[in-house]
Structure 1
């Protein structure tokens, strides 16, 4: 049977000090095709090179972007602000990154709805990551319609996920559920959307919905250890210890050196038999 300490930990979640919905992968998330990237940023080559440089050497990329900003106007200036923000984010300076992304989005030359939506998305992500959930929500209110108008469904879905993150941070659980439903509607094949939905349902005490949603997440991504970890948490709270053990062992097998595996091992060690 479960120890009282483990039951409490599972009800709160794998990491009680972390947000209920984990941060999503930052910036482009590598989901756009090269064709889409070119469409979103018509003069993307210098920007793409600067973003790559920011990942390799954020300090050098930020210095380069600042020089760029001194000599350019219009859309090119927006690209410079975009790159500077990404370099600042790579350095962990999320408040500065958010300010740069907001400034880039505010450039009058940024009229392409897809690019405007993208800048709004990364600005909101930076704001939320910096701890300004309310500011992130306000930015998403502006950026989501841009994505919808341009038919950028994949990015719109990710913004609804970020919206749920911010709402959970603000204690707006019911509103977060609505946001996650929008994300699932726009991207029914997103295992992340189903995983976060299951996590929220479980934390809200709706284990039946949580179990259905985590099963859907697992169907979409059989090798994600985070999904197996959550499936085990849901199973044990539903009284299915065998399924919980199986899922947590799967986490360890899939990626033995990951934080998820360490959490799963801790859960297994706390399980006792009658």
Structure 2
């Protein structure tokens, strides 16, 4: 059976078209989950760094989230009981972070929404970040439609705040949710918005390439993965996807080169394990197409 028939079957097994891996990339699930968790942690840290007045209990909560999220959640609830205004924002943020660490996504979403609503109407930065975190909690809960309802106003707030990085990040989340509700064309438009807001975001170009490839737009996928590689030449996930696009375009030699680069860059990674599987399907190099 030709590789072009074998490879999509392997892709379907390694990366199902679902919420955990909405772009059905070549990436194994463990890569996707690790990346999603890292993105969530980064956003939580960024939100914590937003300049907000703090009470002693709120500070104690934030400082102890990693060590004891259950206690942090209780500290935040205690702070919420008496907090008003922006102190309520910080307490709600801490509660949402703690509940996220505990995997209580529905409660975390509610906490982030409460914190967002406590922020002033003119505090676009806080409202954008907290709204985005609420949307992420909804996605983790398996509610992409609900996530879209939270991410749309967050996107507007981010634009009013002039935060292009956050605007791009929210656009990526919207794309993730749109794919989950089976609206790939709308997801492609959201990815275009992410690229426009932050042209140097390699992840936006990688996900765009993967979605284009899934839509059988191989010319667009090739251009997008090349841009991703220019921005982040040592990202093994980009090398893995570049090989998939190449082999589906009939260029086995380029695919082999891309997958070998993954082995060189990250030999012990899950991406390397998948690259080895793909290379083995190509067969001996002497039989590969030029």
* TM-score over 0.5 for the pair: yes
Q: Does 1:15 align with 2:15?
A: yes
Distance 1:30 1:109, change over 3 A: closer
Shift of 1:45: 8.9
Kept in 1, the 8 Å contact 2:44–2:97? The answer is no
Shift of 1:8: 2.8
Instruction: Write the deviation string for residues 18-58 of structure 1: whole angstroms up to 9, x where unpaired.
Output: 433357411544896xxx976x4332696676445323332
Q: Is there any run of 5+ residues in structure 2 with no aligned partner, and where?
A: 24-31
Shift of 1:261: 1.6
- For 2:40, the equivalent position in structure 1 comes to 26
- For 2:154, the equivalent position in structure 1 comes to 143
Provide the rounded CA distance (Å) in 2 between the counterparts of 1:250 and 1:44: 48
CA RMSD of aligned residues (A): 2.4
Provide the rounded CA distance (Å) in 2 between the counterparts of 1:55 and 1:251: 33
Aligned length: 269
Distance 1:176 1:254, change over 3 A: same
Instruction: Write the deviation string for residues 235-273 of structure 1: whole angstroms up to 9, x where unpaired.
Output: 111111111112112222222222212211221223224
Task: Give the TM-score taking structure 2 as reference length.
Answer: 0.84
Provide the rounded CA distance (Å) in 2 between the counterparts of 1:124 and 1:79: 18
- For 1:71, the equivalent position in structure 2 comes to 82
Shift of 1:72: 2.0
Matches within 5 A, 1:44-123: 50-107=61-118, 109=120, 111-123=122-134
Provide the rounded CA distance (Å) in 2 between the counterparts of 1:133 and 1:238: 32
- For 2:188, the equivalent position in structure 1 comes to 177
Shift of 1:81: 1.2
Task: Give the TM-score taking structure 1 as reference length.
Answer: 0.89
Deviates more, 1:246-255 or 1:213-222: 246-255
Deviates more, 1:178-187 or 1:84-93: 84-93
Q: Is the partner of 1:20 in helix, strand or coil?
A: coil
Distance 1:181 1:45, change over 3 A: farther
Provide the rounded CA distance (Å) in 2 between the counterparts of 1:45 and 1:248: 52
Shift of 1:224: 1.1
